[in-house]
């Protein structure tokens, strides 16, 4: 059975449909990369899969169960979410923010116990963030804060991990760390769904790639079939080249214009 699936899904805000006819299933042990232009609907789709926005049509199935009948905490035990990092918020201690990922496993209003704190520390360690446990999140850089949000999702220990542009504020090295973490989660049996603005990330980590643009979802399909110059031009409106480098596929936009 798929860990997360949707059927005939229409997504949008109020009466405004952003995309329709969406159907796919996420299997254990796989990384699925969602690509699409700004405003294409990636965040709207992820938030609909999490039950944070109601579907305009169709349904979402979490391990075979209709999302509509599920309590928030039951969803959180099955799906961890890394939202796009936003500045501001409360001056919480990093360890406390990561431990909030454990709320899915605790009775209402219960404090995290020793096992929860250990899970939070282990999640920080996976991202090389052990030294940040006592810092305030408001005093972190954008990339450090992003890694705290990823650690919080790891601490949640959910079968499905959904990440919205997790690489957005990460430097070159931390992007590699994140992508390795996505593969590691898949190797541990999770289903990972992540959005990115870098088609190269799809070549690096994806088992399957889906393209959300023009009000519809293409795929998911194999990276080499989905990330092609023709499709990149259709999705992003720029010509692109794809070639082999160091034993793997890479892509780059062609800028054109004056030399």
Ligand X SMILES: Nc1ncnc2c1ncn2[C@@H]1O[C@H](COP(=O)(O)OP(=O)(O)OP(=O)(O)O)[C@@H](O)[C@H]1O
Which residues in this chain contact ligand X in the complex, by CB under 6 A? Answer: 13, 18, 36, 38-44
Structure-block tokens of residue 131: 């030294």
CB of residue 40 vs ligand X: minimum separation in angstroms?
Answer: 4
Distance of CA 169 to the CA centre of its chain: 14
Closer CB to ligand X, 45 or 103, in the complex: 45
CB of residue 115 vs ligand X: minimum separation in angstroms?
Answer: 35
Closer CB to ligand X, 112 or 220, in the complex: 220
Closest C-alpha to 201, from 235, 227, 238: 227
Distance of CA 103 to the CA centre of its chain: 20
As a whole number of angstroms, the distance between CA 11 and CA 50 comes to 12
Closer CB to ligand X, 106 or 168, in the complex: 168
Cβ distance 34 to 210 under 8 Å? yes
Structure-block tokens of residue 127: 């991202």
Closer CB to ligand X, 47 or 152, in the complex: 47
CB of residue 70 vs ligand X: minimum separation in angstroms?
Answer: 22
CB of residue 1 vs ligand X: minimum separation in angstroms?
Answer: 28
Closer CB to ligand X, 77 or 145, in the complex: 145
DSSP E strands: which ranges in the chain?
4-13, 16-26, 30-35, 57-62, 65-66, 79-82, 160-163, 191-195, 208-213, 216-221, 240-245, 248-253
CB of residue 95 vs ligand X: minimum separation in angstroms?
Answer: 29
């Amino acid at each position: 059975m798929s860990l997360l699936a949707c059927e005939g899904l229409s997504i949008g805000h109020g009466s405004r449909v952003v995309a329709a006819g969406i159907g796919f299933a996420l299997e254990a042990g796989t990384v699925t990369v969602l690509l699409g232009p700004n405003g294409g609907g990636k965040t709207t789709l992820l938030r609909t899969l999490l039950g944070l926005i109601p579907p305009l049509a169709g349904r979402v199935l979490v391990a075979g169960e209709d999302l509509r009948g599920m309590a928030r905490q039951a969803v959180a035990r099955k799906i961890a979410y890394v939202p796009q990092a936003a500045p501001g918020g409360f001056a919480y201690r990093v360890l406390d923010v990561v431990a909030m990922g454990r709320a899915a496993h605790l009775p209402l209003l219960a404090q995290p116990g020793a096992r929860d704190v250990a899970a939070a520390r282990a999640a920080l360690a996976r991202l090389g963030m052990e030294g940040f446990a006592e810092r305030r999140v408001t005093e972190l850089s954008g990339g450090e804060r992003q890694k705290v949000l990823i650690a919080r999702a790891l601490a949640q220990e959910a079968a499905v991990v959904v990440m919205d542009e997790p690489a957005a504020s990460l430097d070159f090295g931390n992007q590699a760390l994140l992508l390795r973490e996505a593969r590691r989660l898949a190797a541990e049996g999770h289903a990972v769904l992540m959005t990115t603005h870098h088609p190269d990330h799809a070549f690096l980590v994806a088992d399957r790639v889906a393209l959300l643009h023009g009000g519809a979802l293409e795929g998911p399909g194999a990276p080499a079939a989905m990330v092609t110059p023709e499709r990149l031009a259709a999705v992003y409106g720029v010509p692109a080249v794809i070639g082999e480098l160091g034993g793997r596929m890479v892509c780059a936009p062609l800028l054109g214009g004056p030399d």
